[in-house]
Chains A and B, each alone.
Chain A
Amino acid sequence: MKLDSKIPDGPLAEKWTNYKASQDLVNPANKRKIDIIVVGTGLAGAGAAASLGELGFNVKIFCIQDSPRRAHSIAAQGGINATKNYPNDGDSIYRLFYDTVKGGDYRAREANVYRLAEVSSNIIDQCVAQGVPFARDYGGLLDNRSFGGAQVSRTFYARGQTGQQLLLGAYGALSKEIHKGSVELFTRREMLDLVVIDGKARGIITRNLINGKLEKYFGHAVVIATGGYGNAFFLSTMAMTSNGSAAWQVYKKGAFFGNPNFTQIHPTCIPVHGDYQSKLTLMSESLRNDGRIWVPKNKEDAEKIQKGELKPGGIKEEDRDYYLERRYPAFGNLVPRDVASRAAKERCDAGYGVGSTGLAVYLDFADAIKRLGKNVIEARYGNLFQMYEKIVDENPYETPMMIYPAIHYTMGGIWVDYELQTTIPGLFAAGEANFSDHGANRLGASALMQGLSDGYFVLPYTLQNYLADQIQVARIPTDHPEFEKTEKEITERQEKLMAVKGSQSVDGIHKKLGRIMWEYVGMGRNQEGLEKAIGMIRELRAEFWKDVRIPGRIDELNIELDKAMRVADFLELGELMAKDALDRKESCGGHFREEYQTPEGEALRDDENFTFVSAWEYQGDDKEPILHKEPLIYENIEVKQRDYK
């Protein structure tokens, strides 16, 4: 199968306009005859379902939680980018496009990123019209801040709860359509597989998480908006039920998986404190605007701190190493996430880390408090400081915060073309679940933008282009042999899991996987480690299928079985992540191969050989997947080495 990204012809700035002008539409009378399945109620899913419902399609939407409002988008803190240029500081569509491609280390597709930048303004208009209470200035207009190292202020925010407010806006729009009857809502349902009939996506099978029953749903098209798969690492900033299963199951049905290894590690999270730990908490990146990051200059001091014999206050100014300011004088504490994360790991690995584990660095507000006053700092970060104190039991106004990088986002995902269609006709992927816009590294405040762009402004168009010739297709009854066959396969899989009756808990095995992933497929990767990881993951997978223990029955609410189904998929996905990382013999963005670095320890890209998207095609459980390469062509941007010095 040949990869076709379906990028429209014409100059970059006109592609999307031209596409919309010439695409096929479905006439209003026919929309009623079409069913669309949307899996996921985050920004991407809720935005798409609401917009498609408004257009007159019949939509069914699914989520794992008890309410669509609890999708993980709710947890995003910092903000959302858009090219409004309200502050008059020189922003433009081109500049956001440029920053996103550069930030992604030149591994994203130009046309998609440009479209994202182009619709970003509409997103803000839409959200304000929905009643999203963005921050405002005293003149009553919208306030912006600079985020994650951007040189313009283009980030809109609602206190530290931007994701919550955007999601509640989308949830409102969705609720309106549910009330009207155009969208039907299914909560506490987990999609376990896709149904493909005559080569086209035609439905899904879900597990009803309350009673364990399998349910079959038909759709003329299916949208996967199930978020990211960072929980392959067990510990991450993702929610507990965030998973990679929907993406993985469609991969096994023929959708290609794009850049699976591209994972983002966020530099400012609360460090791990014990092996019972269930998840990691993000401290907003905005803290780096005022906080200074340091570790002791002398190893002896660091060791004393680790043993609890010395407090940070006891270290003199000249004995502190503000390593980001030292290494990157131009950007200092505001270097991009991947750079900041690696620098922290480098210091800790070298023995300069703080905290009892030595796996933490300080984020210090003393100077900012001195310069601006405690009030200002409190107004800016009060919530975050309070949250930190609740978790760590230390007061960040008085003693520096401790932070360490954590898994936060997956740039990789289901491969999609310009229309967000996967390699299975009729199957679309949106939001974090697809691979599309962030290349090898995502900029802060750009995921929310992408989710809403996909949901509100892209899918409502591109889906119609596909559906225009589907109006003749009558609804397929769910007793069709393909539905029955897929259902039977799931039943067998669940029975096989229950029959293992081994001795290890699902979480126990998940933690083991997480340790392998973090050690070998995390911040620093090398050939030997990746090869080792692949072997270890295979062994662990075998162990899982021989020794997992799941109490209870299939046909009842069974949280252990729910988790086991997800972990079974992570155990396969993790291997593909390692394989992809092994194959990409260069360093780019979040993918740092230790063999490929400059003498100063910076990431070294290999543009000649690796300017492509890796799209993996499944071949069967015991067969090696096939790697397809989608070349990335930069016609509107000069490819440069990223330099934050």
Chain B
Amino acid sequence: MDLTLKIWRQENAQARGKFETYKVTGISEDASFLEMLDILNESMVDKVQLPIAFDHDCREGICGMCSLYINGRPHGPDQGITVCQMHMRNFKDGSTIVIEPWRAKPFPVIKDLMIDRSAFDLIIQAGGYVSVHTGGVPDANSIPIKKEHAELAMDAAACIGCGACVATCKNASAMLFVSAKVSQMALLPQGKIEAARRVQKMVAEMDDLGFGNCTNTYACEAECPKDIKISNIARMNWQFLIAKVGAQKMNA
């Protein structure tokens, strides 16, 4: 396949970026999208030019490191997968592909297609865990958990923290990401104990970091490579409400 690529180049966080056009030829349909970028980068090294910086690591859709808009869509045209899992057979020979970093205020560009997602770590640090220490915990089978609940918790826990939900949202809301963690924990007896505290802290942190509000456009669910459901947001709102009511009762 021969392709024209319009790729965002930006020297560093401060610099102003712009699109550059590149041609690649003879790409196999069986190559992955990132392998296609590798080939382009190899040719740039050949010309002693700086290759395009992009984030990636596992290349099998699980680490959450890859993050590209392809023709305006996070993770590209195919549903339910990450960029690194996409293969060139999804594109037509001779077409033009526009490649950009994710655009969201809380995810500033570092260079070219690389972005800074440390805001997600900060949200988790605010409370996205069960506060147990190593050792001294009960036997794993001492608290049975309904299979349905364990399955729903696993659905939510499958989030890879890629940030596509934020990137696709016109408000740059992190609700899908945050709600996935809140839901996972709230569905499990181990996590229930500090559910109220958790949701309040994580939501406060999310707001502080400049993520926007959720206005129910459902774009996040459509672009999420791990099929995280919007129903998690409803569950989180419910948790938030209970936490508020609980706090009012305590104060009354």
Contact = CB atoms under 8 A, between A and B. Distances in A.
B163 to A, nearest CB: 10
A273 B30 contact: yes
B134 A138 contact: no
A179 B126 contact: yes
A67 B120 contact: yes
A239 B58 contact: yes
B85 interface: yes
B209 to A, nearest CB: 14
Interface string A161-200: 1001100100111011011000001010000000000000
Given A391-B87, A551-B49, A560-B51, A126 B137 contact: yes
Nearest to A172: B129
Interface in A452-491: 456-457, 460
B31 A274 contact: yes
Contact of A66 (B118, B125, B126, B128): B118
A125 B61 CA distance: 28
Contacts of B129: 130-131, 172-173, 175-176
Interface string B24-59: 000010111011001100101110111101011111
Contacts of B34: 278
B252 interface: no
A168 B140 CA distance: 18
Interface stretch (A70-78, A312-320, A347-355, A591-599): A70-78
B63 interface: yes
B76 to A, nearest CB: 12
Contacts of A276: 28, 31, 35, 38-39
B111 A557 contact: yes
B6 interface: no
B146 interface: yes
Nearest to B114: A557
Interface string A217-238: 0000000000000000000000
A67 B134 contact: no
Interface in B60-85: 60-65, 78, 81, 85
Contacts of A185: 121
Contact of A125 (B56, B140, B184, B191): B140
B131 interface: yes
Interface in B205-225: none
Given A136-B145, A140-B146, A239 B57 contact: yes
A84 interface: yes
A557 B30 contact: no
B250 interface: no
B27 to A, nearest CB: 8
A557 B110 contact: yes
Q: What is the size category of the interface that chain B forms with chain A?
A: 35 or more
Given A75-B58, A551-B50, A141 B141 contact: yes
Contacts of A51: 133-134
A28 interface: no
Contact of B134 (A50, A390, A559): A50
Contacts of A142: 140-141
A311 interface: no
B38 A278 contact: yes
A124 B53 contact: no
A137 interface: yes
B150 interface: yes
A125 B64 contact: no
Contacts of A84: 140-141
Contacts of A65: 57, 63, 65
A448 to B, nearest CB: 14
Nearest to A130: B130
Contacts of A126: 132, 134-135, 137
A136 B63 contact: no
A507 to B, nearest CB: 6
A467 to B, nearest CB: 17
A292 to B, nearest CB: 25
Contact of B62 (A74, A124, A134, A140): A74
Given A131-B188, A176-B131, A241 B157 contact: no
Contact of A124 (B64, B140, B161): B140
B8 to A, nearest CB: 15
Nearest to A277: B35
B58 A125 contact: no
Contact of A133 (B12, B30, B58, B150): B150
Interface in B129-159: 129-135, 137-141, 143-147, 150-151, 153-154, 157-158
Interface in B155-210: 157-158, 160-161, 184-185, 188, 190-191
A447 B128 CA distance: 26
Residue picked from B28, B63, B135, most chain A C-beta under 10 Å: B63
A291 B50 CA distance: 46
Contacts of B42: 505, 507-508
B191 A131 contact: yes
B137 to A, nearest CB: 4
A164 B153 CA distance: 14
Nearest to A281: B60
Contacts of A557: 12, 53, 110-111, 114
A126 B137 CA distance: 6
Contacts of B65: 65-66, 70
A135 B147 CA distance: 8
A268 to B, nearest CB: 14
Contacts of B229: none
B145 A69 contact: no
Contact of A173 (B58, B78, B134, B150): B134
A72 B57 contact: yes
16 contacts: A54-B134, A74-B62, A86-B141, A131-B190, A135-B150, A136-B150, A139-B144, A141-B141, A158-B154, A164-B160, A176-B131, A274-B28, A387-B61, A390-B78, A390-B87, A393-B89
Interface of A: 47, 50-51, 54, 65-70, 72, 74-75, 84, 86, 122, 124-131, 133-142, 158-159, 161, 164-165, 168, 171-173, 175-176, 178-179, 185, 187, 210, 239-241, 273-274, 276-279, 281-282, 387, 390-391, 393, 456-457, 460, 505-508, 549, 551-552, 556-557, 559-560
The 8 closest A-B pairs by CB, nearest first: A140-B144, A172-B129, A129-B137, A128-B140, A51-B134, A133-B154, A133-B153, A70-B63
